Structure 1
Amino acid sequence: MKWVTLVLMAAIAWFQYSLWLSKGGWRDMWQLQDRVVAQEEKNQALALRNTALAAEVMDLAEGQDAIAEIARVDLGYIQSGETYYRLVRRNP
């Protein structure tokens, strides 16, 4: 009877080891869950960036306001009939 108990205890120990520590066990599952959460955060950030880029493309495709704004900011564009004022600070 003792050897049956020992065999059953060894089997339980082996199954517990397989469940908790071996490849494909709980430890690996927890690591994969952490990786999934991190990847979902990256995907959410990229989705927001894609939405902003899509809105900018839509603005550029539909209207001249976005093009004029980019020209003003990046190239210093001034439309005809506008007055340009440049403010210069004095050094104390």
Structure 2
Amino acid sequence: MRLITLALAALLLLIQYPLWLGKGGWLRVKDFEGQVDIAHKKNAELIARNAKLDSEVRDLKDGTGAVEERARYELSMIKQNEIFIQIVGKGQAAAPPPLAPKPPEN
């Protein structure tokens, strides 16, 4: 009787192995679900980025407003007969002037 019980317990363990650790086991499925969730999040970020870039390209192709804005902020360009005024806020300090190099000591 004891031998039959041990044999049945061994068979039960053998049946459980593929369920937990096999090719389609629960642990592997959980791992794949985590990978799929990460891929979905990354795809959503990339879709949002592509939509932003697409709208930016359309703006650059269709109108001059986007080109003018880029020229102003990235290249610090101003229009003709325009005066550039920069206001330094309380939290911002003006950049100190560069220091003159020290003469070498003898």
Question: TM-score by structure 1 length?
Answer: 0.80
Q: What CA distance in whole angstroms lies between the structure 1 residues aligned with 2:3 and 2:25?
A: 29
Alpha-carbon distance between aligned partners in 1 of 2:88 and 2:33, rounded to the nearest angstrom: 56
Equivalent residue number for residue 98 of structure 2: none
Aligned partners of 2:87, 2:6: CA distance in 1, in Å?
90
Distance 2:24 2:15 in 1: 13
Indicate whether 1:47 and 2:47 are aligned: yes
1:20 aligns with 2:20: yes
Q: How many correspondences in the alignment?
A: 91
**Amino acid aligned to 1:39:** A
Higher helix fraction (1 or 2): 1
Question: C-alpha separation between the residues in 1 aligned to 2:55 and 2:20?
Answer: 48
**Structure with more contact order per residue of length (Cα contacts < 8 Å, sep ≥ 6):** 1
Q: CA offset at residue 63 of structure 1?
A: 0.5
Give the aligned residue type for 2:42. Answer: K
Once superposed, what is the RMSD of the aligned Cα atoms? Answer: 2.4
Matches of 1:3 and 1:57 in 2, distance apart? 76
Matched, 1:74 2:74: yes
